Structure 1
Amino acid sequence: MNIEETLKKALIIIAIAVASHLIVLAIRFIYRKIIQRKHNTKNTKWISISSLVISILIFVIYFVAIGKILIELGVSLSTYIASASIIGLAVAFGSQGIVQDIVTGITVVFSDLIDIGDLIEIGGQTGYVEEIGMRFIVIKNVNKAQVYIPNRTINNVINYSNGNIKYYLDIRLPENTENKDQTLELIKKMVRRFE
């Protein structure tokens, strides 16, 4: 193999890698723009399903790109697919948790258990669902921190978006507070505005 052919193959490989990465970036950009528009219409089921589809699509794009690169390197496609199958089985046995995450993620999306924007309590965490992915559910808690919960750990979910929410306030006033009765009445009045 001469230098020209080697350089040509290297350029093709680089082009495939860059093109696949740019396609993934474009898909993610378009997805975010559509989600922002759709989120205003509160179509949370569409958001959940499309998030899952985007994850699968990105996996397929990278899988095909790796296949194309291997073909350029002289590896036969049937060998690549057979190797991918064997590696896939080995990885599946080694990473049963990931497989459980994916299966549970698909189940969550199609079961109407939770949707994007729901206020839920799961795994000792309470927050609003931001994303339902193939491996994780992402919620934003009261401290505005993102919490990633592996799908396989989902067993008890409390979805507050399906019913009434009750809040309990524990307000302590210092002993030397003047006008305690007026202060308590003011607090009660403020709370009643939210009923």
Structure 2
Amino acid sequence: MRALLLLLLVFALPARAELWGFVDAGGVAHFAPRQLDARYTPVLGGVGMQRVPGKADAGLALLNWLDIAPEVKAVQPWLREAAAQHGVDADLLKAIIAVESGYQRNAVSPRGATGLMQITPETASRYATPADAARLIEPRINIHTGARMLADLLRRFGRIDAALAAWNAGEGAVRRAGNRVPDIDETQAHVQLVLELYWALLQQGQPARAQRLTLHP
């Protein structure tokens, strides 16, 4: 299954996507689609790791952070649980959380999206029970609600990129674009960043298989 995902991602990833980041003194990882200030170094760009002179290990350091950071390790059991229960890939959930909230479990966006997966009240009304919707800030509930939504979007659209676009821009925008990623800068950037990080996590998890992958036209 993952070999197929690797193949699909090779064809899906656009070359211009970038992910920048740094880990602060408190051990918190910060991600952005561009260099916000001098602290940010390239994490991902094109397919695989971005390599620049003098900063060759910047991306690897942040991927390693995802493996060892306490806030990431604390939610790993719930990621595995949600992945098994809802039929989605744990690494895809991991990538979404990194891009959505940087693993800040108390994150709340200006439009009211809450927690690790930045679940909106509308999403909670569809994919969480009333009792869980009232406790959406709790990581386990937040992850399960997001995984349930992602599984539904994957069933509806049949493509990871379209499902991620619907997550960001809404199902209507994806349908109007012919079940493809719509021509919306924010949505395209979001989809690209999640897919880039997902690809890197798959490579990291199965390096031998990824290194031997051969594509035929």
TM range (shorter): under 0.3
- The structure with the larger Rg is 1
Structure with more of its chain in helix, by fraction? 1
**Greater length-normalized contact order (CA 8 Å, ≥ 6 residues apart):** 2
TM-score (ref. length: structure 2): 0.23
TM-score, normalisation: structure 1: 0.25
